[in-house]
Structure 1
Amino acid sequence: MKDKFYRPLKGEKITLIPITKEHILQMRMLSSDSDIWTWYTEDLSNPDALEGWMTKRLEETERGDKMTYSVLLNETGQVIGATSYGHLDWVEQGIEIGWTWLGKKYIGSGINRHMKYLMLHHAFEIMDIERLELRTDEQNIRSRKAMEKIGAKYDGTLRNHRSTQGNRRRDTVVYSIIKSEWSQIKSTIFKEF
C-alpha cells in the first residue's frame, strides 16, 4: 500500500521527496545546532548521530513501517530537513505525522506550515485517511502551539510514555485531525495554499 502513495509532494516553496542515502549525507551539515534537538528523544547535534537516526528512518521506510521524506527547498534544491508519516494503519485508515525537523535557519520561516499542508492534503485527499495524529513532548510548547495553529485538537497525554535525553521520561501529548474536519481547516487555516 505504501508504494501506491509514497511519491513526491510538491509545493510552491518546498518539495517533500522520498528519502535517499544521498539526502542523509546532505543532512549531516544541518546537525550542528543543538537547539533544534532539545525535544528529540536523542541528541542529534553530532553529524554521525543524525546520520544514524536518519538511516533508521530510511530502513523503516524500506520495510513499509514509515514513509520518510526529505524536505527540499525548491529555490536551491538543497535538503533542509525531514519528516515522516508513521504508525501506518491501512485497515483503520490512521496515520501519524512526525519525526519532523528543519535546519535552524528554516525554523519559524513558514516552511513547517507549508510542509504540514502538503502532508495533510496528501493524507486526507489522496490516501483517504480518516484520522491523523501528531505527537510531541508535553513540555514542547512551541510544537504544541504549531499543532493547534493547523487545527489539530488535543486528545490526551500518554503519561511517562518514553525515555528521552537526560535520562528523563517524557509525557507525550497527542493531537489529531479527522477527515470530517479537513475541509474546514483547508478553507480557513490553509486558505493561501
Structure 2
Amino acid sequence: MIIPTLENERVKLSPLTLDNYFQLTIIAQENDLIYYSPSDISSPEKLRNYVEVALEGVQNQTVMPFIIYDKQQQDYAGSTRFGLINWHHKTLHIGWTWIGHDYQGSGLNKHMKFLMLHYAFETLEFEKIEFRIDDRNQKSKKAVEKLGVTFEGLLRKDTVMNNGFRRSTCCYGILKEEWPFIKSTVFKEF
C-alpha cells in the first residue's frame, strides 16, 4: 500500500516512518498531549513503539500514518492517521491525531482534516469517515463538531486507558453524500 503525501499551502502530511518520526520527539513529550488516548508517546522509546505499531497496520493495509509539517511555522507539528481502514465496506477512521500545544487553535487541524476528507472521499471513494473521541475530551469534540460531522452515539466504557480507566467513546461520522455540502460550507475557503 502506498501512502500518499497530502499537501496544501498550510500543511504537508507525509507518510510517518522510522526514518522521520524522531522529528516529533520533543513535541511528543509535551504534557497531556495525548491524555485522552490509550497510547503512550512520552519517551523516545515509547514514541518509536507507537510508530512501529502504526507501521504494522500499514503492512496489514488498515492504517495510513502521517507526520504533520506546518508550513506556516516551518516545523513538524505532530501526527495523524487513517485507521481501521475497511477496504471492503469503504469505511475508515480519522484519528490518532496529536499536535503540539503551539499549533493548537491555529487553523492547522482544519487544513489537515480537509486534506484527509478530500482524499478519502474523492480519491479513495470511501462511503463513510468516522471519528472516535474520548467523551471527556471537550476540546477535541468541539473541534470535530466544527467539521459538520454527525454525532452517532456513545460507546460506553469501551476502551481501557493506560491507567486502567475505562473511557466512553463518542462516535461521529460523515457519509459520502454529505461531503459535497460540508466541503462547500465548512471548507469553502479551501
Normalising TM by the smaller chain, what interval? Answer: over 0.9
1:10 maps to 7
1:73 maps to 70
The Cα RMSD (Å) is: 1.5
2:144 maps to 147
What amino acid maps onto 1:94 in structure 2?
T
**CA shift digits 1:2-34 (9 cap, x unpaired):** 43xx21111111111111212211111212212
Percent of pairs identical after alignment?
A: 36
Partner of 1:115, secondary structure, is helix
Q: CA deviation at 1:111?
A: 0.7
**CA shift digits 1:58-83 (9 cap, x unpaired):** 22223322011111123566322111
* CA distance in 2: counterparts of 1:103 and 1:68, whole angstroms: 17
2:28 maps to 31
* CA distance in 1: counterparts of 2:44 and 2:101, whole angstroms: 15
Alignment of 1:61-140 (within 5 A): 61-75=58-72, 78-140=75-137
1:47 equivalent to 2:44? Answer yes
Q: Is the 8 A contact 2:18 2:48 kept in 1?
A: no
Aligned residues: 190
Partner of 1:49, secondary structure, is helix
Q: CA deviation at 1:180?
A: 0.7
- Note the residue ranges of structure 1 that are not aligned, 5 or more in a row: none
Q: TM-score if structure 1 supplies the norm length?
A: 0.92
1:177 maps to 174
* CA distance in 1: counterparts of 2:30 and 2:15, whole angstroms: 25
* CA distance in 2: counterparts of 1:74 and 1:109, whole angstroms: 12
Partner of 2:170, secondary structure, is strand
What amino acid maps onto 1:39 in structure 2?
Y
2:157 maps to 160
What amino acid maps onto 1:145 in structure 2?
K
* CA distance in 1: counterparts of 2:158 and 2:121, whole angstroms: 28
Partner of 1:81, secondary structure, is strand
Q: TM-score if structure 2 supplies the norm length?
A: 0.93
- Structure 1 moving runs of 4+ over 4 Å: none
* CA distance in 2: counterparts of 1:95 and 1:122, whole angstroms: 12
- Note the residue ranges of structure 2 that are not aligned, 5 or more in a row: none
2:57 maps to 60
Of Structure 1 and Structure 2, the greater helix share is in: 1
* CA distance in 1: counterparts of 2:99 and 2:127, whole angstroms: 27
